[in-house]
Amino acid sequence: MSSPAPKRVTLPRSERAVPANASSVGPTDPKQVISVSVIVKRKNPLDLHALGGQIVSREDFDAQFAADPASFDALRTFAHDHGLTVDEAASSLARRTLVLRGPAAAMEKAFGVQLHDYKDAKTKRRFHCFSGQVSLPETHAPFVEAVLGLDARPIARAHFRFLRNLKKKKKPKATAQPAPFNPPQVAALYNFPTDVNGAGQTIGIIELGGGYTTSDISTYFGGLGIKPPTVVAVSVDGGSNSPGDPNGADGEVALDIQVAGSIAPDAKIAVYFAPNTDQGFIDAITTAVHDTKNNPSVISISWGGPESSWAQSSVTALDDACQSAAALGVTITVASGDSGSSDGVSGGGNHVDFPASSPHVLACGGTELIGSGSTITAETVWNDGTQGGATGGGYSTLFPLPTWQTGAGISGSGRGVPDVAGDAAPESGYNILVDGQQEVVGGTSAVAPLWAALVALINQQKGSPVGLVNPTLYADGNDFHDITQGNNGAYKAATGWDACTGLGSPNGQALATALSAK
């Protein structure tokens, strides 16, 4: 007589709603092979506050905060019992990720869901997903934090804007007019350290689409008189360096590489390409954080989506990945969004972008910058209106106010976004090369690699990684150009921190001094 099947329980925070702005195509083909990433809980809780800013070695991290091999073994048995295979090469105890593959019908039975196919109204992309909650046998559920890949809806958008698409604002003739910059000119205006070049550092860049060409890199850096940096592409979950759409994500990839690479030209640049799903996004971050081959000391992310569009379990898994980065001394810089205080959410209300709202990243807002040489003439909040774009910012509904923000005069109980800012307006944007075409590009997408390059320079100057910089930055708010003019919709710039530009734009050398003393 066979023993009864163990009772099943729902996985906390795994609930998904039917996707908006998509049409149902029908049930997913039961024979379609699907890959899922099972995010396994840590051996021990990771308490960054208890670490007190101490950076943990990879060996100590693996010993204390990776997944327990016994948990992996139990879930391997679960997979085999349900007709699923384990991709051991793609799995990792440090990343706490066990990758399972199998037909949709087996996935449905294993995780208690019904998969349906949908077509996105805008992109026409077809994807599978489910509504409801994931369930697991009560014998295995305690090991699992999230199951990613059963829902493949697009989760993020790139936060960049082409100047050519902007309907220019009318400015009084008497005022200074903005003009585009080469990235090193912006670094000079922000007083970035000039005695370092990023040597010995790797800047990681997360991309959820698009690609770059080596000819663009050679041509662009040659035109600036800079030796092209070493750029490597890393495939995650089948993502790849796939250039070919100059009006799409290629612009994001070019912006990230060319801004970071021209400011820290001797740094290596590792670009992690992944599908635009929560599984791809989170796997890309964990892959970068735990990449012992390229070993990035800072990671730039220019993609995100409104907090309200994310499943809670995915938010937890991604934020946990950022906590791991902080423990290992890896700084993560994230664009705060290009749709103002609403973050592009229809129906009104104020929203912030995730992962910028994670308290374990440096959230980067946007300004409009006017100046020349090393002199800033004017700097205001970037806001080109509803259609033209504006810096994201506001207050999180998912994360409470971090302790290091309590003295910043932030109203409300939610984590304030952004932390810092930098040049983002398309009219004062960046001259870049996209698929052989000269473009001027702005958006908070440019600010994340700008700050990532600054962190790489400071890491080189200090001789060790600065890690999670937020507590130090808020402790000394004098290392910034305070932005006091402009708004992003619901929020206005003000003296000190504000929900448009955070603490302000960088005084690079002053920040280097403060962080080197950390």
pLDDT 10s per residue in the chain (518 long)? 456 678 999 999 999 999 988 999 999 999 999 999 999 999 999 999 999 889 999 999 999 999 999 999 999 999 999 999 999 999 999 999 999 999 999 999 999 999 999 998 888 899 999 999 999 999 999 999 999 999 999 999 999 999 999 976 666 665 778 999 999 999 999 999 999 999 999 999 999 999 999 999 999 999 999 999 999 999 999 999 999 999 999 999 999 999 999 999 999 999 999 999 999 999 999 999 999 999 999 999 999 999 999 999 999 999 999 999 999 999 999 999 999 999 999 888 999 999 999 999 999 999 999 999 999 999 999 999 989 999 999 999 999 999 999 988 887 789 999 999 999 999 999 999 999 999 999 999 999 999 999 999 999 999 999 999 999 999 987 899 999 999 999 999 999 999 999 999 999 999 999 999 87
What is the set of domains in the chain, with CATH numbers?
8-148 (no CATH), 157-165+179-516 (3.40.50.200)
279 neighbors 152 (Cβ within 8 angstroms): yes
Taking CA atoms, 88 is separated from 91, 93, 466, in Å, by 5, 10, 33
> Model pTM?
0.97
The catalytically annotated residue of 445, 479, 498, 505 is 445
Which one of the listed residues 207, 237, 252, 319 is annotated catalytic? 252
**Residue owning tokens 């007709």:** 83
Distance CA 351, CA 396 (A): 7
Whole-angstrom distance, CA of residue 472 vs CA of residue 370: 28
Q: Which residue has the tokens 């423990």?
A: 327
Whether 252 is a known active-site residue: answer yes
Which of 108, 151, 256, 368 does the annotation list as catalytic?
256
- Give 94's DSSP letter: T
Buried b (16+ CB within 10 A) or exposed e, 348-382: eebbbbbbbbbbbbbbbbbbbbbbeeeebeebbbb
Residue 352 near residue 336, CB atoms below 8 Å: yes
**C-alpha span between 227 and 25 (Å, rounded):** 50
Examine the residue annotation and report whether 256 is marked as an active-site residue of this protein.
Answer: yes
Measured between alpha carbons, how far is 494 from 244 in angstroms, rounded to an integer?
Answer: 42
Residue type (1 letter), 226: I
**Does 445 participate in catalysis according to the annotation?**
yes
- pLDDT digit string (tens) for 166-182? 976 666 665 778 999 99
Token pair for 158: 């790139």
